[in-house]
Amino acid sequence: MIRETQTTLTDAWSWWLLMINTNDFTFVLTVTATVLLVISLVTIIFTKSNKFSPPLPPGPKSLPLVGNLLSLDPDLHTYFARLGKTYGPILTLWLGHKVGIVINSPGLAREVLKDQDTSFANRDVPAAAYEAFYGGNDIVWTPHGPKWRMLRRVCLTEMLSKSALDSFYDLRRKEIRQTMGYIYRRVGSPVDIGEQMFLTLMNIVTSMMWGGTVKGDDRAGLGAEFRLVVHEITELLATPNISDFYPGLARFDLQGIRKKTKVLTKKFDDIFETAIKQRHEMDAKEGGKAFLQFLLKLKDNQDAKMPFTMTDLKAMLMDMVTGGTDTTSNTVEFALAEMMNKPQIIQKVQEELEIVVGENNIVEESHLPKLPYLYAVMKEILRLHPVVPLLVPHCPSDTCVVGGYTVPEGSRVFINVWSIHRDPSIWNKPLEFIPERFLDGKRDQSGKDFDYLPFGSGRRTCVGIAMAENMFLFSLASLLHSFDWKLPQGQKLDLTEKFGIVMKKAVPLVLIPSPRLSNPELYQ
């Protein structure tokens, strides 16, 4: 009843909102609050007559209509952690008409992601995600149900299974060696680590998907362009958007976020269309084993119980391009930055590599299981700088009770793994980069230990864990075995984080390489 009344009143004021022509979030929010005052009165009346039992979690005081939106800190992960110290491990924020629930403790994360996993298995799809992922028809945003299970099965059995990944080893090896060769030609000159790792991952993902790579003189330019587009899309996904907080205003796109996302997505859509056209024109044998060939066959299978459409296909390609590139490249960049800050850790990794790989050899994936210290480095960097610091928000399909408090149906639930990973009651010296804490093997990243959730847990845990771990270890091992690194003269190391749905370094890591391998042919 409240929702219907609010929608009706919102529509009555739409003529005024259409007069607004600004991208300023604060200004638009202020105008919205003014013209929707009537809705505030209606909400207060209905709230008083329908008290929650048990109550909502505690939280900071909110203003009529805008709630807590005006007080949000852009660095949500640290802001939520600070609020947790005041209001407890579960708290409420009013995001316009949307209830936001923040969880900062492993015990309550367990309640959401394990004990009541089915109820919290859906997503609250923001407008930017709806536009970027073809109506939210991808594995990340699709509602829990038959279609999501079909998409997950396709990913896990056909695209990201061990046998599927093994079949593309030669491709990954080739791309890693090309990157080492490119860096070798840049010896003595500054190299943007994140940019080069992104391009390497982009080449690997697109080669696995449809066989396309960026080579030669186009490497630096197109790599930077692709990376910028992915960065802008992920930033829009994390931008506070009035369309998400006031559903009645969504059609106006007051901040232009859907429009901006559509323009960015079109760049990848054109690439997808070209790849699909080329695959259609190829003979089956000529098509090789690229995943796109399999997806096209799946689309054409009209006997399937759950149809797989062209929209589903493109959404899955977008998942792979965005989820398989920026995330891992950012993690490698953070890892090398933290290690540059502690040279003794680099020395330990290089000594381990010399024993396992040798001085006159190159890193192969077969070496990776024999590198326990490097594996501990990976675990520690995922603790200190989790890829998705708040996970992808969950959305309960019915009203639940968590920690003795009501979590309303349709609310947006944030699991602050960044805060959990830095909790001093759980971790010794939580702000320090100490890989040795993981050498005992007691914690893994599968989501079973709620003190440590770099990839989430439960039904919606990340499906690409195996590939992400493999590419991180292979990339970092190759960088440290092939080269020594130093900062450009006069520059200081900056470890500042930049918040987003995907965590980034605020300042790109630029280092100067020098070769470690005595035989130049090993760089070819």
pTM listed for this prediction: 0.88
Q: What confidence score (pLDDT) does residue 13 get?
A: 39
Q: Is 52 exposed, middle or buried (0-12, 13-18, 19+ CB in 10 A)?
A: exposed
Q: Are 481 and 334 in contact (CB under 8 A)?
A: no
Could you tell me the CA-to-CA distances from 292 to 67, 166, 238, 287, 289 in Å, in that order?
45, 17, 29, 9, 8
Q: Cβ of 119: how many Cβ atoms within 10 Å?
A: 19
Query: Which of helix, strand or coil describes residue 479?
Result: helix
H or E stretch at 369: none
Q: Cβ of 326: how many Cβ atoms within 10 Å?
A: 26
Could you tell me the CA-to-CA distances from 372 to 92, 332, 339, 445, 478 in Å, in that order?
41, 17, 16, 15, 15
pLDDT in tens, 467-523: 999 999 999 999 999 999 999 999 999 999 999 899 999 999 999 999 999 899 999
146-523 placed in CATH 1.10.630.10 = yes
How far is C-alpha 466 from the geometric centre of its chain's CA atoms? 15
Residue count (the chain) = 524
Give CATH 1.10.630.10 domain extents, the chain: 146-523
Q: What confidence score (pLDDT) does residue 31 get?
A: 57
Cite the beta strand spans of 71-143 per DSSP E: 90-95, 98-103, 122-123
Q: Is 221 exposed, middle or buried (0-12, 13-18, 19+ CB in 10 A)?
A: exposed
Query: Which of helix, strand or coil describes residue 280?
Result: helix
**Alpha helix (H) residue ranges in 324-415:** 326-341, 343-356, 372-384
Does the CA dihedral 421-427-432-436 come out positive or negative?
negative
Q: What confidence score (pLDDT) does residue 6 get?
A: 44
What letter represents residue 381's amino acid?
Answer: I
Query: Which of helix, strand or coil describes residue 287?
Result: coil
From the list 379, 375, 455, 443, the residue with the least C-alpha distance to 417 is 455
Rounded to a whole number, what is the distance in angstroms from the first to the last CA of the chain? Answer: 68
Q: What confidence score (pLDDT) does residue 94 get?
A: 97
Q: Are 513 and 478 in contact (CB under 8 A)?
A: no
Distance, CA of 410 to CA of 120 (rounded, Å): 10
Whether the bond between 74 and the residue before it is cis, its omega within 30 degrees of 0, is no
Distance, CA of 204 to CA of 211 (rounded, Å): 9
Q: What confidence score (pLDDT) does residue 297 get?
A: 86
pLDDT in tens, 427-465: 999 999 999 999 998 888 889 999 999 999 999 999 999
Quick one: tokens of 80? Answer: 């939520």
What are the mean pLDDT values of the chain's consecutive 10-residue runs (524 residues total)? 43 40 55 56 49 85 94 94 97 96 98 97 95 95 94 88 89 94 96 94 88 58 76 90 92 95 94 85 60 87 79 93 92 98 97 95 97 98 97 96 97 98 97 97 89 96 94 98 96 93 95 94 90
Helix, strand, coil % in the chain, rounded to nearest 5: 55, 10, 35
Q: What are phi and psi of 483, to 5 degrees?
A: -140, 150
From the list 471, 432, 450, 453, the residue with the least C-alpha distance to 386 is 453
Non-local (6+) Cβ contacts of 398 within 8 A are 119, 409
